[in-house]
Amino acid sequence: MNDPEAFAESAVAEIRESVGDGRAVIALSGGVDSSVTAALAYEAIGDRLRPVYVDTGLMRAEETTEIEATFGYMEGLEIVDARERFLDALAGVTDPEEKRHVIGEAFVREFEREARAIEADYLVQGTIYPDRIESEGGIKSHHNVGGLPERVDFEGIVEPVRELYKDEVREVARALDLEELIAERMPFPGPGLAVRVLGEVTEEKLEVARAADTVVREELEEHEPWQALAAVIGKGTGVKGDNRVHGWIVAVRSVESRDGMTARAQELPWETLQRVQSRITSAHPDVARVVYDVTHKPPATIEYE
């Protein structure tokens, strides 16, 4: 992509052509990719677009409120409370790839339901190039690609930013005057906190992951990581007050990257790391230990699952 404005124009034309005079639903996640895709689709088909945000219960703190604030300008914004359905579907699922498939399937079923309500035939998605490469290359099936169920009840899936890298999507966001907040937002995976709690997804682990994520975002913002995250990676022994506890181990990861395909673990000051540790262990009574991940990608991936 050379010129983000020219790209936006041709993407709008492409969406118009694909959807014709039909209707479409778009999945909003609050991330840059889906926000840019939604803006392009809204420009292309206006009120024939139904923007849908599914509250999966796997999102960060305040995510739903932020979505309402950011996308409230679009007519017909629909916020679906699917927390129970997602948690039920994930019960007992421990394998990372299976988690992604379960989540992919649960998402599509939500969109199908919304689509039926307005008789939409198309699903618009913010899939980007690395999502496809990593899914096709067998690294991870990103939930909006490899995680799709085989039978999808849509006439077509429209993916206007499918050839772009993350930094290019950000350029388009700026060209579209989307708030800096969105353009500069840290990437957040579609399956949300489900891939940041190892093994089975439980309400308890999600609560720890959410509390830790808030600390990480607040404390590391000034170091401008490409992406920073906290993951619940297991349990270990600790001492809290006068008691031995068997508490959660939280891993903190902060990386520098250009496009997420490779990444370097960020060198952070000891004081910063200690502050993060101290805030996370006090944010939740059942956290016994915080570790900082110094592994680059490769060999590790950015997310834990």
Interacting residues with ligand XMP (CB under 6 A): 100, 131, 134, 140, 142-144, 187, 189-191, 195, 227, 260, 297, 301-303
The residues, any chain, with a CB within 8 Å of residue 174's CB and separated by 6 or more, are 4, 180, 183
- Name the token pair of 222: 């000034």
- Which residue, 134 or 293, is less far from ligand XMP as judged by CB? 134
Q: Among the residues of 72-120, which ranges form H helices?
A: 83-90, 96-118
Smallest gap from residue 284 Cβ to ligand XMP (A): 22
Smallest gap from residue 130 Cβ to ligand XMP (A): 7
Q: Is 233 helix (H, G, I), strand (E, B) or coil?
A: strand
- Name the token pair of 263: 């990444």
- Which residue, 144 or 281, is less far from ligand XMP as judged by CB? 144
Q: Is 74 helix (H, G, I), strand (E, B) or coil?
A: coil
- Which residue, 64 or 240, is less far from ligand XMP as judged by CB? 64
Query: Whole-angstrom Cα distance, residue 32 to residue 171?
Result: 10
Going 34 to 40 to 42 to 45, the CA torsion angle's sign is negative
Smallest gap from residue 257 Cβ to ligand XMP (A): 8
- Which residue, 4 or 30, is less far from ligand XMP as judged by CB? 30
Nearest to 288 by CA among 234, 239, 233: 239
Smallest gap from residue 303 Cβ to ligand XMP (A): 3
Smallest gap from residue 162 Cβ to ligand XMP (A): 13
- Which residue, 166 or 205, is less far from ligand XMP as judged by CB? 166
